[in-house]
């Protein structure tokens, strides 16, 4: 290998290293920006409050949460006790519905002692109740 070939190889290695460094820097910056963008996008301070008419009454709601009640509520996530409109409906869901209707609220259930979807026996096997 003569000096010219070695010099070209050296410049190629420097160029590839520089490109790799720039790409790594860009990806790190994108990760950093994405992390804080997600935090900013979900922070209540930066999500405007929307005012609209719900069941004939003017109510307020965070814009990013409007219409997502059923996605978060345990009752709508296949709870076998949740049977709205029937006499077999969950007592907690019925009481919560009455409370919501009385005060014109929407309250998703995040935690519930009566939630029943699947139980596991002692061996870890899922059984449906």
Q: What is d(CA 25, CA 45) in angstroms, rounded to the nearest whole number?
A: 30
User: Model's pTM, two decimal places?
Assistant: 0.55
Arithmetic mean of pLDDT, 59-76? 89
Arithmetic mean of pLDDT, 90-109? 92
**pLDDT at residue number 110:** 92
Arithmetic mean of pLDDT, 91-104? 92
**pLDDT at residue number 80:** 87
Q: What is d(CA 92, CA 83) in angstroms, rounded to the nearest whole number?
A: 11
Note whether 92 and 103 are within 8 A (CB). no
Q: Radius of gyration of the chain from Cα atoms?
A: 28
Q: What is d(CA 12, CA 39) in angstroms, rounded to the nearest whole number?
A: 41
């Amino acid at each position: 290998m003569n000096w010219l070939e070695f010099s070209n190889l050296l410049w190629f290695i420097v160029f590839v290293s520089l490109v790799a460094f720039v790409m790594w820097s860009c990806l790190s910056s994108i990760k950093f920006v994405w992390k804080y963008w997600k935090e900013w996008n979900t922070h209540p301070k930066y999500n405007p409050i929307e005012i609209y008419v719900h069941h004939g009454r003017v109510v307020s709601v965070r814009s990013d949460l409007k219409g997502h009640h059923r996605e978060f509520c345990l009752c709508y996530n296949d709870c076998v006790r949740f049977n709205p409109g029937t006499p077999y409906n969950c007592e907690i869901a019925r009481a919560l519905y009455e409370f919501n209707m009385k005060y014109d609220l929407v309250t998703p259930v995040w935690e519930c002692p009566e939630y029943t979807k699947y139980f596991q026996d002692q061996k870890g096997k899922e059984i449906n109740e």
